[in-house]
Amino acid sequence: MKKILATFSLILWLGVVPVSSSAAGNPKAMNRDSIKIPTTVLQIAKENTYPNPTQDLPYLQPSELAKSLISSSNVSIENPELIRILNETSISKAPFALGYRATIYLGHWALLYQSAETSPNWEYQKINTNFHDNRGSETIYPMHYVQEVQKTVRGGLTAKVPQAEDVQKMMLIKAAKKTKLPLSFDTIIGAGTKNERIYNVPPKNLGYLYTYASAINEKGKVTYGEVYLVLKGNKKSLVVKNVTSQGIGAWIPVQDHLSFGFYATNRPR
């Protein structure tokens, strides 16, 4: 920040407007372009008594200037927040800038996330149990899912990393693109949510219907670096220094997709 302030007057002299900034289970393998949803998993968006907002992917189309700066960088840049800041940057030509050189520090950033593995866990978190005792009956009892209490399912990064929010955004973009599923780090299943699929409890048996929220396990590598805006006369470019990489993983819940496991037994579970 001190470096930015120190060069503020030089930026104005050149006609540059400074940057402004306003768990569990064994997952199954999937291919990299789509995902096969098991028959035990149902989509309950219409039935959910809590309307989850659609997760808008935080992707911004770079402006022409931002495209030019990003293409000049020695390291790929995909961070949507950094792209937003570059979109808000304006650099005008200075008629007397011949021979002028300036290097402006834009900060330390999470630059991009590279996905290595994306896999689903359809039974990520148990959220409900429906039960019926049919031991005293001679007929089949038709049982179906009813959510007893509202449940919030949260995902998150598997380790602490710098600029975690930016990392989460980039991981969400990659995972949603690969799975074609509605993903969010927070999703809610409202009390009273129902589904009409029938699970028959035989006579003389107990019926258990377990309901699970699903999630995607995303693993890969995040790259960090110090970003500098370099001005040489009327030429401008981005230079990234002190580049580092770190492995990272995340659990990302699937919105409005539930997995069901039904068990009928003559003994309590």
Structure tokens at 216: 């995607």
Polymer length of the chain: 269
CA–CA distance, 204 with 265 (Å, rounded to integer): 9
Percent of the chain with pLDDT over 90: 73
Which candidate, 1, 23, 17, 9, places its Cα nearest to that of 154? 23
**Whether the Cβ atoms of residue 66 and residue 159 lie closer than 8 Å to each other:** no
225 CB-near residues (< 8 Å, 6+ apart):
75, 108, 109, 111, 240, 241, 242, 243, 244
Q: Does pLDDT of 142 surpass 90?
A: yes
Whole-number pLDDT of residue 56: 64
Q: What is the 3-state secondary structure (H, E, C) of 167-234?
A: HHHHHHHHHHHHHCCCECCEEEECCCCEEEEEEEECCCCEEEEEEEEEEEEEEEEEEEEEEEEEEECC
Whole-number pLDDT of residue 88: 87
Higher pLDDT, 64 or 16: 64
- Cα-to-chain-centroid distance, residue 8: 35
**Whether the Cβ atoms of residue 153 and residue 142 lie closer than 8 Å to each other:** no
Lowest mean pLDDT among 61-65, 156-160, 191-195: 61-65
CA–CA distance, 67 with 139 (Å, rounded to integer): 69
Q: What is the pLDDT of residues 60-77, one digit of tens each?
A: 788 999 999 999 999 999
Handedness of CA 36, 40, 46, 48 (dihedral sign): negative
Average pLDDT over residues 169-190: 95
Whole-number pLDDT of residue 32: 40
